Amino acid sequence: MRISQGQLWLNFPMVNAVRARSGFLLRLAESLTITGAALLASVMVFSIFVAIMKVNPLQALYAMYLGAFGTSFSWQVTLVKASPLLLTGLCTALPMRTGLIVIGGEGAFVLGGLFAAEAAHFVPGAPTIIVWLVMAAAGCLVGGIWIMIPAALRVYRGVNETISTLLMNYIAIAIFNQLVEGLFHDPNSLNNPSTYSIGDNNMIGDIGNSQVHWGLIVGMGVCVLAWILVHHTTLGFSADLAGGNPKAARLSGIRINRVILWFAFLGGACAGLAGMIQVAAVQERANDGLNVGYGYAGILVAFMARQDPLAIIPVAVLLGGVHAGKILLATQLGLPNSAALVFQGLLFLFILGAETLYGRFSIFQPQVRT
């Protein structure tokens, strides 16, 4: 795999100048190349899979492209699908900066949405903006605490947070179903058990004439804020230390438990906020429609973005495109929704597997100044 130093084209003065100066550009190029290669590999394996199913892979890929980015309508669908992924991606990405692999975004998402829907009724008749704020606060609080619990168990009891968050997703969905059909149940929703509607006037509107709701902008804004938090604040610095080497962090006096709990809370709050937006902009009420895997897809988003909040934006749009593309895949070629699930699984597999390629290509390694 190692590309030899001796290759002629690597010794151009300009290439060398770039390599000596800019570590950042090199790392960006490395990430883009490797992620691109993983993407390509999964597209190829998916094509083979589709071909075995006697569907022309080129047709399938083209249908997916059309459904995702082909028309302005498909762009709108893609962006609507991407909107929750921006925030559920942060739910995995932020704790991962402190070294925790949290995959509980699904649980925080559904519970955040549920309690946000319920919170809307605490302030009946209040101005819309107040209702939104109360809903967002409820969603963030519930989601944040939901992810903080496994983080605290990890910090104070040594319980593996990956396994516990995975289990807690199932518990969250049980709680969700129990409440939707019990305490919070709207008796008018018979064949699709739901909570009460938050009210038509409290819905988050669309941007201009499009069908893309303002939640997309909120999600992108939160990603930018998270990026500032991670790269330009003392808390973000402490988190990187705690995640990179807990021993070194403790040595320099950082209270890493506190940092880990904070980041877990913020991550969970993002997923909870995503649930709130999904309720307030799309669903109008909490029901089974929330429970469709946005939290799980967020894990993939975070891994593909390599935990960088800003990189989450394009990755979420790309993955939103996969989810939008499956609609056309179904209507045009008769491939079921699970085909997109297969593609997502392949993509995840190759993205994680490609982790092994980092640092292998000497072209991306800066040279020692002599």
Please identify, among the stretches 56-64, 80-88, 213-221, 250-258, the one whose residues bind other proteins according to the rule CB under 8 A.
250-258
Residues 298-317, interacting with other proteins (CB under 8 A): 299-300, 303
Distance CA 30, CA 41 (A): 16
| 3-class SS string, 34-48 | HHHHHHHHHHHHHHH
Tell me if 245 contacts other proteins by CB under 8 A. Answer: yes
Q: What is the largest CA-CA distance in the chain?
A: 76
CA separation for the pair 132, 276 (Å, rounded): 9
- Smallest gap from Cβ 361 to other proteins, in A, equals 14
Q: Which of 15, 32, 48, 251 binds other proteins (CB under 8 A)?
A: 251
Give the other-Cβ count within 10 Å of 42's Cβ.
22
Instruction: Kindly state the smallest distance separating residue 214's Cβ from other proteins, in Å.
Output: 28
CB of 162 to other proteins, least distance (A): 5
Piece in contact with other proteins (CB under 8 A), picked from 64-72, 195-203, 246-254, 322-330: 246-254
Residue 160 found at the interface with other proteins (CB under 8 A) = yes
CB-nearer residue toward other proteins: 66 or 357: 357
Among 356, 366, 258, smallest CA distance to 37 is for: 356
Question: Could you give the 3-state DSSP secondary structure of residue 23?
Answer: helix
- Selected binder of other proteins within 43, 61, 166, 330 (CB under 8 A): 166
Assign 52 to helix, strand or coil: helix
Does position 128 bind other proteins by CB under 8 A? no
For position 258 contacting other proteins by CB under 8 A, the verdict is no
Using the contact rule CB under 8 A, the part of the chain among 56-64, 202-210, 272-280, 343-351 near other proteins is: 343-351
Q: Please report, as residue ranges, which positions from 26 to 65 form the binding site for other proteins (by CB under 8 A).
A: none
Tokens of 116: 């946000």
CB atoms < 10 A from the CB of 201, how many?
A: 8
Please state the closest distance from residue 356 (CB atom) to other proteins, in A: 4
Q: Candidates 127-135, 138-146, 292-300, 320-328: pick the segment binding other proteins (CB under 8 A).
A: 292-300
Q: Could you tell me the smallest distance in angstroms from the CB atom of residue 128 to other proteins?
A: 32
Q: Is 368 in the site for other proteins (CB under 8 A)?
A: yes
**Considering CB under 8 A, how many residues would be counted as binding other proteins?**
75
**Binding segment for other proteins among 55-63, 172-180, 203-211, 271-279 (CB under 8 A)?**
172-180
Write out the binding residues for other proteins, residues 192-221 only, by CB under 8 A: none
- What tokens does 122 get? 């605490």
Q: Which residues from 81-120 bind other proteins, rule CB under 8 A?
A: 101, 103
Residue 202 C-alpha from the chain's centroid: 26
Give me 104's structure tokens.
């509980």
Q: Which of 56, 178, 192, 331 binds other proteins (CB under 8 A)?
A: 178
- Report the chain's terminal Cα–Cα distance, integer Å: 26
Q: Which of 119, 86, 92 is nearest to 266 (CA)?
A: 92
Q: In 67-98, which positions are buried (b, 16+ CB within 10 angstroms) versus exposed (e)?
A: bbbbeeebbbbbbbbbbbbbbbbbbbbbbbbb
Site for other proteins in 221-240 (CB under 8 A): 231-238, 240
CA distance 268 to 104: 8
| Under rule CB under 8 A, residue 171 binds other proteins | yes
Part in contact with other proteins (CB under 8 A); list of ranges 81-89, 208-216, 266-274, 347-355:
347-355
Q: φ and ψ at 227, to 5 degrees?
A: -65, -45
Instruction: Select from 9-17, 149-157, 278-286, 317-325 the region that touches other proteins (CB under 8 A).
Output: 149-157
Q: Which amino acid is at 285?
A: R
CB of 69 to other proteins, least distance (A): 22
Residue pair 99/88 in contact (Cβ under 8 Å)? The answer is no
Q: Is 183 in the site for other proteins (CB under 8 A)?
A: no
